[in-house]
């Protein structure tokens, strides 16, 4: 019988335990979208996790949406990320790079002056986004041409090449939170009339081709996918998320991915865990508000291979030890989640 603290293998990635650090935007990158020495400390401190999934890194200037987020598209970014992965590996940890193109979820204040905001269709997200000037409306995106869709898919492939050059143990495609892959999947944001829009088969095409491009770099066993069917975040609308994601999971099931990372949504229109159990037969990471006891029960019952924790990892760098020794969790300061500097980022102490 496996427990939360036993080893597990996700594809070709061997984990010392099943406690996963979930990806979390923390807005500490520099003006060139580079991770800094703060990131080296932050991720090294949390390297006892079975696996760290990095904050979302954009595959191009156009793919950036939030302020002070890191990229994975330039040689300088590869060098900067290599310092992070080396630090994690020196502590015996494993880390994958989450690749995140936000599509229409953006405001120009957060992007380079020569960057665009692009999406499947020219439909503005009816929401606001955090900037250094406060909350500002998301802008009207420009619809990608069919040729440009192919260019974006190539950007994901190159970002995967860059991630492995930077020393990451794998990559994860961010497929939820209303970002570009979810925009292609959803009827409310995809009104295209080419092979990437219209029918469900066409709406799935972008995500499947991105995954194929990422898998082409070093095999599917180093590639994961994160989804949350029915998630309305960032003004995402789909007529039938149950059908959309059941069909998507049927399509990716034979690909041999390292894992599926699924977020449960207790009040959503889809039972995401049941959907995954029915339509996906590979390694599963589950996420969203799990405590240690519930996570342990999920592993013992073989309902998932691992459990990821987000907020708990902010103020508890050695979360695994706290779970093992039943040490109370420290609370994080919500006021420093997205600010500058070490305060509320890399300055949380260990349990001892």
CATH architecture of 8-336: Alpha-Beta Barrel (3.20)
Mean pLDDT confidence for 310-335:
97
The runs of H, that is alpha helices, within 174-325 are 180-185, 200-218, 241-252, 272-279, 292-300, 311-314, 319-324
DSSP state of 193: -
Strands 51-53 and 259-263 turn out to be unpaired
| Residue 263 phi, psi (nearest 5) | -100, 125
- Annotation says 338 is catalytic: no
Tell me the percentage of the chain whose pLDDT exceeds 70. 100
Instruction: State both tokens at 65.
Output: 């949406």
Q: Considering the entire predicted model, what is its pTM?
A: 0.98
Is the distance from CB of 169 to CB of 96 less than 8 angstroms? Answer: yes
Q: Is the pLDDT of residue 94 over 90?
A: yes
Strands 134-137 and 128-131 turn out to be antiparallel
Angle at the Cα of 94 from the Cα atoms of 33 and 91, rounded to 5 degrees? 95
Q: Is the pLDDT of residue 1 over 90?
A: no
Strands 223-227 and 170-174 turn out to be parallel
DSSP states of 100-148: ---TT---GGGS-TT---EESSS---SSEEEETTEEEEPPPPEEPPHHH
Q: Is the pLDDT of residue 144 over 90?
A: yes
| Residue 223 phi, psi (nearest 5) | -120, 130
| Confidence band for 351, pLDDT divided at 50, 70 and 90 | confident
Mean pLDDT confidence for 184-213:
98
pLDDT of residue 95: 99
Is the distance from CB of 225 to CB of 261 less than 8 angstroms? Answer: yes
How far apart, in Å, are the Cα atoms of 107 and each of 57, 114, 119, 231?
Answer: 17, 13, 13, 21
Is the distance from CB of 198 to CB of 239 less than 8 angstroms? Answer: no
| Confidence band for 300, pLDDT divided at 50, 70 and 90 | very high
**pLDDT tens-digit readout, 41-93:** 999 999 999 999 999 999 999 999 999 999 999 999 999 999 999 999 999 99
DSSP state of 241: H
pLDDT of residue 103: 98
Q: Is the pLDDT of residue 352 over 90?
A: no
Mean pLDDT confidence for 243-268:
97
The catalytic residue among 42, 43, 73, 179 is 179
DSSP state of 197: S
Mean pLDDT confidence for 160-180:
99
Mean pLDDT score across all residues of the chain:
97
| Confidence band for 32, pLDDT divided at 50, 70 and 90 | very high
pLDDT of residue 320: 98
pLDDT of residue 169: 99
DSSP state of 184: H
């Amino acid at each position: 019988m496996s427990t939360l603290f036993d080893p597990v293998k996700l594809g070709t990635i061997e984990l010392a335990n099943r406690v996963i650090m979930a990806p979390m935007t923390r807005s500490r990158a520099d003006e060139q979208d580079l991770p800094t020495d703060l990131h080296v400390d932050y991720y090294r401190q949390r390297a006892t996790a079975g696996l760290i999934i990095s904050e979302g890194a954009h595959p191009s200037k156009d793919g950036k949406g939030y302020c002070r987020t890191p990229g994975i598209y330039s040689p300088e970014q590869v060098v900067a990320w290599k310092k992070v992965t080396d630090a994690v590996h020196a502590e015996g940890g494993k880390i994958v790079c989450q690749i995140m193109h936000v599509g229409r979820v953006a405001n120009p204040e957060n992007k380079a002056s020569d960057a665009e905001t692009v999406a499947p269709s020219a439909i503005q997200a009816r929401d606001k986004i955090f900037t250094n000037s406060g909350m500002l409306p998301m802008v009207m995106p420009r619809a990608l041409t069919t040729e440009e869709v192919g260019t974006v898919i190539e950007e994901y492939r190159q970002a995967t090449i860059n991630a492995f050059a930077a020393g990451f143990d794998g990559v994860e495609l961010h497929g939820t939170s209303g970002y570009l892959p979810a925009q292609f999947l959803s009827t409310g944001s995809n009104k295209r009339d080419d092979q990437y829009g219209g029918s469900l088969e066409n709406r799935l095409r972008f995500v499947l081709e991105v995954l194929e491009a990422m898998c082409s770099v070093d095999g599917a066993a180093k590639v994961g996918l994160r989804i949350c069917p029915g998630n309305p975040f960032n003004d995402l609308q789909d007529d039938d998320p149950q059908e959309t994601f059941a069909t998507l999971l049927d399509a990716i099931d034979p690909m041999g991915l390292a894992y599926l990372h699924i977020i449960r949504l207790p009040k959503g229109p889809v039972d995401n865990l049941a959907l995954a159990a029915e339509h996906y037969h590979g390694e599963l990471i589950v996420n969203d508000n799990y405590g240690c006891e519930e996570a342990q029960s999920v592993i013992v019952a073989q309902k998932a291979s691992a459990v990821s924790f987000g907020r708990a990892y902010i103020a508890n760098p050695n979360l695994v030890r706290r779970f093992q020794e039943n040490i109370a969790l420290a609370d994080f300061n919500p006021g420093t989640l997205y600010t500058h500097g070490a305060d509320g980022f890399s300055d949380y102490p260990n349990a001892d």
